[in-house]
Structure 1
Amino acid sequence: MVKDGIIVDIVDNDLAEKLDAREVIDATGLVVMPGLVDCHTHLCEYATEGVHQVRGKSQKMAAVSNFLDCLKSGVTTIGDHHLGHPVLSTPIHVLKEAARNTVLTIKFATGTCCVGTEPLAYTSSLRPGSILTFDDLDDCHYAKLAAESEFPGENIFITATVANLPSHLVPNGGKRILESEDIFKIVDIFHSLGKKIGAHIEGAENIPLFIDAGGDVIHHGHGAKTEHFDEMAQKNIYLVATPHGGTSNAPNTPEEIYNSLNAGVTTAIATDSYLPVHPEAFGMDKLQIVGPKDFLKICKPTFEYLKQQGMNETECLKMITTNAAKIMGLEAEIGSIKTLKKADIILCKGLPVFDFTDTESIVIVIKDGLIEINKNF
């Protein structure tokens, strides 16, 4: 039962048939589950230029188009990034306003980015449309980023990214660009302002630097070992896995994601949309570029492995619902179908990932109690 966008009660079918409801949705033969949560995307910057080839004011239009693709794919909540872009110059406040005017729940992580070109190219949410230097990123800069950030995404890059570029253009992809002293200082700045902090990291030798500094969320974490997961669990550090790519290292394998969950790490899978598939990604030979419509496809190899290890379907699906919501600080509002939570619900022809990976099998998308997508006309 839904009222004013909130789940107010959950009753059995016999009682439901006797209630005087304004609208009744017949979900016979369908799976009813929470809306999907993608807690790591780049839909407002790199995906607007990469997917739509836009510049200038069209960036905002392209971002909204990407948001609609999410909704059609059953994604009702997004954790997007604003890291600056060498060409695209739309400021964060404009994109936040555009996001507020959609039906989706969208939070933004603001941060700096370092692309592994030669020389290294730095960008920042505070100065979109510009290329910066390392010296531009002082304590005041990080404090302003922390003030703008709405969830712990890729607020900092401990290692340089390959972005969406071919490998020969990013010879410094994976290079460590922040040392322990820098990381401790930046983490302290975020925490002193009451903000959690996330980091883009790859490489077993680099991951402990963020753990030791008391960071909150590791994004990618490619190359992480079992001992890292054990320490992350002890320190309540979360992991956003991208098993299809995102760094120069081979991405998270199903076994590594299992080890993370088994250690007790709150773990989510995210699309990093839009992202080319790494050549060493496990079980994704048929994918090239991953966007919202591919969310279920990138989960399939991992979910199948987890089920083989004895994990049930509900526990697997938490990685793209409950756990992702927790990483974004929204676990009290979304991520599960419970009373007093938002009525963000999808109706599907089967169980996502396990029974299907095509988004057409998500036939109804309900956001805040209203039907926003209905493929059953």
Structure 2
Amino acid sequence: MLLIKNGKIVTMTGVNYEKGSILIKDGKIVEISENINEPQGAEVIDAENKWVLPGLIDAHCHLGMLEEDIGFEGNDLNESTDPITPQLRAIDGINPFDPAFDEAVKAGITTVMSGPGSANVIGGQFAVIKTKGVSIDEMVILEPAAVKIAFGENPKRIYKGKNKMPMTRMGTAALLRETLTKAANYKNRKNAALAKGDNFDIDIRMEALMPVLDRKIPLKAHAHRTDDMLTAVRIAKEFNVLLTLDHCTEGHIIIEQIKNSGVPTIFGPIMTFRGKVETKNRNYTTAKLLNDAGVKLAIMTDHPVIPIEYLPICAGLAVKSGLSIEEALKTITINAAEILGISDRVGSIEKGKDADIAIYDGNPMDVYTDTLYTIIDGKIVYRR
């Protein structure tokens, strides 16, 4: 049992405490109040004058897939030998012993969505995992959590070098439509065979897309430019599937179109130079403008593009450009959890949720702030 007392608790539910307490038992939050009597035998953290938040969430990164301090041997990000690889699973490529996991924990980041890169039109299946553990299977919150798709420069550049489709944006969209059509046909044939009791040969590529067609998980669209984002929305509507717009670099140009689509956005990375043509219009005010329009918004690092420990600083830069402190914190807690489909477990400090909590000596979006404690599933996994 663990008791956190006297903390400035920011629950992300709209109910905060200037001086409150949280009781944790069996890995779950069991009580939140201004005052909780200290249970016998409980470990106590006195968080007076400290910020107590739900563990932070990075909604798009490649943690454990492009490992630190290692070259090719630790690069499991892109299977860039075939533009269509939905059958790839992030859990088969994430190394929990990547040193970046420790950096995440030290920053109070307790949950991430990690998965394949953007070389392929369909790159594979992302997973949502906790940031502490030795077995990826025990760290998983949700898997598969999304299927990665990519538009724009990346698949064009990779496959132009191989002299094969796609070498144009038309080719990327055509391959995606073709594959989703094959998946829909596969689903119909499978259902018909099962209804008759006939044998049916399983195709693991097509099986990977069944949760997408069933609207259980979204397509996770790498898209920077306006036309790429709108193509992603167009195709999602054609096939009646869920979608998230990841990167959304030019989102400020098509705010009304994104708002009307109802598609959530995962914005970033924003602490980088404009290294590609499609990022030339990157703007720090995009997060505020999307949020003000009512678009569900999370902020990402795209680690290792931005080191994962700087996730709260990325949110802080959005504050500097006009986003409120409360809304910025939502982008790396409850909004991220809702977009990833895991808000029943994490993203806020509420009774019954996983006891994933970060304690700071100030606002975590301030560069001078230190993480004092990180708690995952009720266990202190980092203590400054």
* TM-score bucket of the superposed structures, by smaller chain: 0.5 to 0.7
Structure 1 SS opposite 2:291 = helix
Structure 1 stretches lacking a partner, 5+ long = 109-148, 166-173, 276-289
1:222 aligns with 2:222: no
Which residue type is aligned with residue 65 of structure 1? P
CA deviation string 1:36-71 (max 9, x = no partner): 1011111232x21x6433617998657532222211
1:25 is matched with 45
Any idea what the Cα deviations from partners look like across 1:91-122, whole Å, max 9, x if unmatched? 999x99x96726995568xxxxxxxxxxxxxx
1:61 and 1:72 map into 2 onto residues whose CA distance is: 18
Q: Answer whether contact 1:99 1:106 (CA < 8 A) is retained.
A: no
CA contact (8 A) 2:63 2:303 kept: yes
Q: Does the 8 Å CA contact 2:315/2:329 hold for their aligned counterparts?
A: no
- Residue 268 of structure 1 pairs with residue 294 of structure 2: no
Match of 1:236 among 262, 271, 289: 262
Higher share of residues assigned strand: 2
| Partner of residue 135, structure 1 | none
User: Cα RMSD over matched residues?
Assistant: 3.9
| Equivalent residue, structure 2, for 1:357 | 367
| 1:52 equivalent among 66, 70, 83 | 70
Kept after mapping to 2: 8 A contact 1:30/1:348: yes
1:191 maps onto 2:213 in alignment: yes
Tell me which residue corresponds to 1:146: none
Of 91, 108, 111, 1:77 maps to 111
1:3 corresponds to which residue?
Answer: 25
Structure 1 partner of 2:86: none
What SS is found at the alignment partner of 1:150? strand
In the other structure, the counterpart of 1:203 is 225
Relative to structure 1, is the Cα distance of residues 160 and 151 closer, same or farther in structure 2, using a 3 angstrom cutoff?
A: farther
Corresponding residue number in structure 2 for 1:182:
176
Structure 1 stretch displaced more, 31-40 or 298-307: 298-307
1:188-232 CA deviation, whole Å, 9 max, x = no partner?
652247332111112122221111223510111222345x33333
- CA 1:33–1:160: 2 relative to 1, 3 Å: same
Structure 2 residue matching 1:316: 3-state secondary structure: helix
Contact 1:253 / 1:302 at 8 angstroms: preserved in 2? no
CA distance in 2, matches of 1:323, 1:315: 9
Residue identity (%): 22
CA contact (8 A) 1:296 1:358 kept: no
- 1:61/1:211 CA distance change after superposition, 3 Å: closer
| Residue 322 of structure 2 is aligned to residue 306 of structure 1 | yes
2:152 maps to 1:159:
yes
Per-residue CA deviations over 1:213-263 (Å, capped at 9, x if unaligned) read 23510111222345x333333333111111235854136423221111111
Superposed displacement of residue 316, structure 1: 1.5
Partner of 1:345: 357
Q: Which of 212, 220, 231 does residue 234 from structure 2 map onto?
A: 212
Normalised by the length of structure 2, the TM-score is 0.66
Deviates more, 1:328-337 or 1:236-245: 236-245
Cα deviation, residue 33, structure 1: 0.6
Count, aligned residues? 296
Corresponding residue for residue 338 of structure 2: 326
The answer as to whether partners of 1:198 and 1:216 remain within 8 angstroms in 2 is: yes
For the pair shown, the structure with the greater C-alpha radius of gyration is: 2
Which is further off, 184-193 or 67-76? 184-193
* Preserved contact between residue 254 and residue 306 of structure 1 (Cα < 8 Å): no
SS of 1:253 mapped into structure 2: coil
Output the CA distance in 2 between the equivalents of 1:204 and 1:156. Answer: 16
CA distance in 1, matches of 2:178, 2:233: 10
Matched to 2:154, the amino acid is: T
For residues 265 and 306 of structure 1, the distance between their equivalents in structure 2, rounded to whole angstroms, comes to 16
Is the 1:6–1:340 Cα contact (8 Å) retained in structure 2? Answer: yes
Work out whether residues 221 and 241 of structure 1, in 8 Å CA contact, stay in contact via their aligned partners in 2. Answer: yes
Q: 2:245·2:266 contact (CA, 8 Å) conserved in 1? A: yes
TM-score (norm 1): 0.67
